[in-house]
Chain A
Amino acid sequence: MRLDRVIEALLFAADTPVSADALARAIGCPIYEVEEKLENYGARLRDTSALQLVRIAGGYQLCTKPEYSEVLSRFLAPQNTRLSRAVLEVLAVVAYRQPVTLAEIEQVRGVDSTYGVHALLDRRLVREVGRKKTPGKPHLYGTTQQFLHVFKLDDLTQLPPLELSLSQDVGDGIPSEQGAFLLE
């Protein structure tokens, strides 16, 4: 079997982003070979297909090209529920300051944010990632793979840069490996 066709079959069958590592393990070949084939396959689709290969939420996934969105919207009639401004604010605070507690979110927003956090938990855009070692051990919240998928991000480093005039104290608690997006 040709490797590129096997990869195409796996990508077609998958309904979630698949990492090159997972593909390599499934096929039983080196990861660099898979990455090379993925690159070639993506390039081939660019010219010859209504589909495209995108890097999203830490993996590769097939999707339709944007130029077909109108007709697909008519056909599938997706019910897009937009996030309200308040919920987006909560999401932004979680995304840029994760892991973060509800109290810290409220400190930034200055208003009760319980509803916003629950709405985001319901939509699987944020999740509890642990508890803070402070009195009361409050829950810490962070973003999910679903968040990356909904905002077409490959990982958190692709978040739009937060332009800060205040600086050093922002990002307390953010793991160092995710720190690249913190400060421009």
Chain B
Amino acid sequence: MSAQSAPAKVQQVSAIGVTPPPDIYVECQAFSGSLATLFLMVRDHKVNLLGVPLAPVCEAFAEYLIETSGEDTERAASAIAVLSYLLERKAFALLPVEEASSEDPPELSEPMEPSVQEFAQVILALNDLAEERGGLFFRQSRPPVQDLVDGKGGAYELPIEIGDVTTFDLARAFERLVARAIPDKPAAFRKPARSLSEMMVVVSRALQLEFKSLDEIVVGDFTRTEAVWWFLALLELIRIGQARVRSHKGEVQFAGAAAA
């Protein structure tokens, strides 16, 4: 078994969907390939993890951290996520299996594989029940049952008056903003560049009297930290009545407070 932190090949697979882990190459009898591929293979039940010693992989990761001096925290975090998943899966696989009692007949001594096929019929029946239930309408107040089912998030309360805008609308707007952000340069535990009140001044200057989406308001490059601070400041402005929010054609729009 060996695990090397040196790049074995160009990593093409993004194991957890965002940032691929570092190019740690795992070589043993049960598996040969990158850490990301190992993660995917284990996740898809294509590799028996019991045959893959994880200690050398962890050592290689520690070596990687020392070599790179923790410069790329995104990839390091990705590796931690992958390694913790693998360790959890392996720990689970190593748990002792209860032995069948001696009174069991021999044919039942082997544990039967549970299967989702058992549930095929009841899933159809549950679908029918849900359809039948869909034809009934109940009197509702906030939060409506159907809103919860639809994931509109009626159960969440905000100490802010945001009209017909739901918490999910805000979350989606924030998600889009963060998606546009570029990862921060690593600088562990640094204090934010601005305080929230300073950020609120910046945000209130960016808001105009007419409603605009975040895509229109926030332009240019910004980091994830800036995006989070920006959005927090925006929420605080809404809370104190210095900003307004509305849902327009499925899009959340923001504006500054109307002139008195």
B-binding residues in A (CB < 8 A): 12, 14-15, 54, 61-64, 66, 68-69, 72, 76, 78-83, 85, 88-89, 91-93, 95-96, 103, 107-112, 122-125, 134-136, 146, 149-153, 159-164, 166, 169-170
Known: A92-B123, A162-B119. A80 touches B150 (CB 8 A): yes
Can you name 11 extra interface pairs (CB under 8 A) apart from A64-B137, A69-B137, A80-B150?
Answer: A14-B139, A63-B139, A69-B136, A89-B123, A92-B119, A146-B148, A149-B145, A150-B145, A152-B132, A162-B121, A169-B111
**Nearest A residue (CB) for B145:** A149
Task: Tell me the complex Cα distance, A152–B45, Å.
Answer: 36
Give min CB distance, A171 to chain B, whole Å.
11
CB contact list, B123-138 vs A, under 8 A: 123, 125-127, 129-130, 132-138
A96 x B119 contact (CB < 8 A): yes
**Nearest B residue (CB) for A136:** B91
Chain A residues with CB under 8 Å of B126's CB are 88, 91-92, 95, 151, 160
Chain A residues with CB under 8 Å of B139's CB are 12, 14-15, 62-63
Chain A residues with CB under 8 Å of B129's CB are 151-153, 160
Task: Tell me the complex Cα distance, A134–B146, Å.
Answer: 36
A64 x B136 contact (CB < 8 A): yes
Q: How would you classify the secondary structure of chain B's contact residues: helix, strand, loop or mixed?
A: helix
Chain B residues with CB under 8 Å of A108's CB are 114-116, 118-119
Task: Tally the A-B contacts, defined by beta carbons under 8 Å.
Answer: 122
B138 x A61 contact (CB < 8 A): yes
Partner among B111, B130, B140, B141 whose Cβ is within 8 Å of the Cβ of A150: B130
B140 x A15 contact (CB < 8 A): yes
Task: Tell me the complex Cα distance, A68–B82, Å.
Answer: 52
A163 x B137 contact (CB < 8 A): no
Which one of B88, B135, B151 has the highest number of Cβ atoms from chain A below 10 Å of its Cβ? B135
**Nearest B residue (CB) for A164:** B118
Task: Tell me the complex Cα distance, A122–B151, Å.
Answer: 7
Give min CB distance, B84 to chain A, whole Å.
12
Give min CB distance, B26 to chain A, whole Å.
20
Chain A residues with CB under 8 Å of B45's CB are 110-111
**Nearest A residue (CB) for B148:** A124
B133 x A151 contact (CB < 8 A): yes
Categorize the interface residue count of chain B. 35 or more
Task: Tell me the complex Cα distance, A110–B133, Å.
Answer: 30
Task: Tell me the complex Cα distance, A27–B188, Å.
Answer: 62
Give min CB distance, A150 to chain B, whole Å.
6
Give min CB distance, B57 to chain A, whole Å.
20
B138 x A166 contact (CB < 8 A): no
Task: Tell me the complex Cα distance, A170–B112, Å.
Answer: 10
CB contact list, B209-237 vs A, under 8 A: none
B145 x A63 contact (CB < 8 A): no
Give min CB distance, B151 to chain A, whole Å.
6
Chain A residues with CB under 8 Å of B145's CB are 146, 149-150
Task: Tell me the complex Cα distance, A108–B115, Å.
Answer: 5
Partner among B116, B152, B155 whose Cβ is within 8 Å of the Cβ of A110: B116
B138 x A62 contact (CB < 8 A): yes
Chain A residues with CB under 8 Å of B43's CB are 112
- Tell yes or no: B189 within 8 A of A by CB: no
Give min CB distance, A30 to chain B, whole Å.
27
Give min CB distance, A180 to chain B, whole Å.
15
Chain B residues with CB under 8 Å of A64's CB are 136-137
Give min CB distance, B146 to chain A, whole Å.
6
Task: Tell me the complex Cα distance, A17–B119, Å.
Answer: 28
